[in-house]
Amino acid sequence: MRIVRQTVSASARDENGFLFPFGNVSVQNSTTDGLLAIQLPSRVPFSPPNAHIRDPNGGAALYPPGLMPLINRANVLLSSGQFNDAAAAYTEAITQSPADYALYYKRATAYFSLGRHANALADFDQVLALTSETFTGAYLMKAKIFAKEGRWSDARDALKRYQAKNKTDKTAMDLLLDVSDGEMAAKKVAKAQRAKLWTACEEAATQALKTASHSVNIRQQRAYCALAAGDFEQAVGDLNRLSHITHPSTAAFLRIFRLSYFYMPASNTPLSALKQCLHFDPDSKPCASAHRLVKSLDKSFAKLDKFMASEDWKGIVGFLLGSASKDASPSSPGTGFLATFDSALDSNAAPSMLELPLNIPITPPRLASPRRQDVMRALCRSYLQLSQARAGERWCDELLRMADMDRDIDGLLGKGEALLAREQWEEAVLMFERAWDASGGGNREIHARLQKAQRLLKQSRQKDYYKVLDVARDADEKTIKKA
């Protein structure tokens, strides 16, 4: 995350002569989440205790005892980034001095930094009401909020009001350009989505979100377009973000779990989503059930990892396929862990369970799941290492037909050896050449298998004496002489 700091003057005087005394303000802008924190000095030069301040009705008031220490504490909390505590302290101060618009403004900046835009807007409106709309800085802050939420028309209107008295303000001019760019990108998102140009839609949404980082609609559009484009990491990231900037729900957390566990490589995201779900609703049966499922599946994947690390190829086949491994197939996966996982996949990750718009396509989970790819790769490799390439061919074929797996080296090697076993020399050579290219060259095992296939292909193009003699190619010398 890149942090940009700048110091600006935040003191201002309204047309009644009241000083808005911020002094120098450190503005911290996070380019990751778009939040802006206005950091103030620990002691803001308000009027000293017992000094008179003028209220909007033209009367006079005194700071109540203890108010200045409270304000100073709030300023320290704000400047140190403790925005929740700062907002609470300013709220307490406002109850003692409800006509002090500076307190509303600073509480609004705390809310703004917390992403609590509705609260911030209410306070900025109160600042404008207390100052008869003369403190135009509140309009600029409102414009920033509207821009972050993708409320383009509202942002332009607030900027127009601000620029009426600040015509040459560079910040406002830059923000107006950002609003125009963001609105144009948002229109491209909708157009690309209608045309089912998913990657273009995702790119346009990314551009729009540079300005409208808190726009629920645009972020949701990017999530959907990313899903349709097969970019599950981006989609889950956006759905996670949406769970923080909207009201959380059990359905939202379950969707994050389903996508992150079954459509993405192993990570902490699924368990984190389920823990958040149970924190949100401790009595949620779907989340509790999913949590137990993840724990159980993770234990089995850990066991598979141990088999792979120890190169226990027979153990892998038995663990994944059960006792009837010879009869197992991708459509009928036996009685082992593969059957358990496929059942969980079908009952938790079917597109109908993801609550997507009808026009958003998604790759079937059996073809997209990286965890299922790992299982197929383990079976394909195990049969190859056991010199049972023909028995493993169905698993290598299944691996190669999965999403973006047509260049998987284990799948290509297993398929190549199965083709050799069936004496399909040319096809075997092509398969090993693909494996060689996919590896980037330099792999001795692949090179040896490729050379063997090329040699057998060359022999097959010569007179086939084995066929003439009606003996197998691996026949011993005695059998050949006898023939």
Decide if 93 contacts 71 (C-beta within 8 A): yes
Tokens of 126: 């109160």
Residue 19: give the domain boundaries: 3-135
Q: How many domains does the chain have?
A: 2
DSSP states of 194-244: HTT-HHHHHHHHHHHHTT-TT-HHHHHHHHHHHHHHT-HHHHHHHHHHHHH
Q: Are residues 128 and 9 in the same domain?
A: yes
Q: Report pLDDT for 3.
A: 40
Decide if 376 contacts 398 (C-beta within 8 A): yes
Residue 36 sits at φ, ψ, to 5 deg, of -120, 125
Q: Report pLDDT for 476.
A: 75
DSSP states of 113-126: HTT-HHHHHHHHHH
CA dihedral 243, 246, 250, 256 (to 10 degrees): -30
Is residue 119 assigned to a domain?
yes
Is residue 200 assigned to a domain?
yes
Strand partners, 8: 25
Q: Are residues 205 and 91 in the same domain?
A: no
Q: Report pLDDT for 441.
A: 85
Q: Report pLDDT for 425.
A: 94
Tokens of 49: 């205790």
Is residue 452 assigned to a domain?
no
**How many other β-carbons are positioned within 10 Å of the β-carbon of residue 442?**
8
Show the beta-strand stretches assigned E in 369-462.
none
Q: Is the dihedral of CA 442, 446, 450, 451 positive or negative?
A: positive
Instruction: For residue 284, give every residue at least 6 positions away whose Cβ sits within 8 Å of its Cβ, in sequence order, or none.
Output: 250, 277, 278
Q: Please name the residue ranges forming H helices in 246-369.
A: 250-262, 269-280, 285-309, 313-321, 337-348, 365-368
Decide if 120 contacts 108 (C-beta within 8 A): yes
pLDDT (tens digit, 0 to 9) for every residue of the chain, 483 residues total? 444 443 333 444 343 333 344 433 444 444 334 444 444 433 333 333 333 344 444 333 466 788 999 999 999 999 999 999 999 999 999 999 999 999 999 999 999 999 999 999 999 999 999 999 999 999 999 999 999 999 999 999 999 999 999 999 999 999 999 999 999 999 999 999 999 999 999 999 999 999 999 999 999 999 999 999 999 999 999 999 999 999 999 999 999 999 999 999 999 999 999 999 999 999 999 999 999 999 999 999 999 999 999 999 999 999 999 987 888 999 999 999 999 999 999 999 998 899 899 889 999 999 999 999 999 999 999 999 999 999 999 999 999 999 999 999 999 999 999 999 999 999 999 999 999 999 998 899 999 999 999 999 988 876 666 676 777 766 777 777 776
Q: Are residues 120 and 171 in the same domain?
A: no
Is residue 235 assigned to a domain?
yes
Q: Are residues 128 and 194 in the same domain?
A: no
**How many other β-carbons are positioned within 10 Å of the β-carbon of residue 371?**
19
- Of 135, 155, 185, the last residue of a domain is 135
Exposure pattern of 379-409 as b/e (b: 16+ CB <10 Å)? bbbbbbeeebbebbbbbbbbbbebeebeebb
Q: Are residues 101 and 199 in the same domain?
A: no
**CATH number, residue 99:** 1.25.40
Dist CA 255 CA 194 (whole Å):
24
Instruction: For residue 236, give every residue at least 6 positions away whose Cβ sits within 8 Å of its Cβ, in sequence order, or none.
Output: 256, 259, 260, 264, 269
Strand partners, 29: 4, 36
- Of 226, 246, 266, the last residue of a domain is 246
CA dihedral 16, 20, 21, 25 (to 10 degrees): -150
Q: Are residues 97 and 53 in the same domain?
A: yes
Q: Are residues 118 and 12 in the same domain?
A: yes
pTM, two decimal places: 0.79
Tokens of 323: 């006792």
Q: Are residues 129 and 33 in the same domain?
A: yes
Tokens of 19: 């000083």
Q: What is the CA radius of gyration of the chain?
A: 33
Q: Are residues 63 and 102 in the same domain?
A: yes
Q: Is the dihedral of CA 300, 391, 329, 429 positive or negative?
A: positive
Closest CA to 65 of 85, 41, 48: 48
Q: Report pLDDT for 474.
A: 67
Is residue 171 assigned to a domain?
yes
Is residue 204 assigned to a domain?
yes
Q: Report pLDDT for 25.
A: 41
Q: Are residues 93 and 17 in the same domain?
A: yes
- Of 246, 270, 285, the last residue of a domain is 246
Exposure pattern of 59-69 as b/e (b: 16+ CB <10 Å)? eeeebeeebbe
Q: Are residues 115 and 177 in the same domain?
A: no
Q: Is the dihedral of CA 381, 386, 387, 393 positive or negative?
A: negative
Q: Are residues 14 and 126 in the same domain?
A: yes
**CATH number, residue 171:** 1.25.40.10
Is residue 193 assigned to a domain?
yes
Is residue 420 assigned to a domain?
no
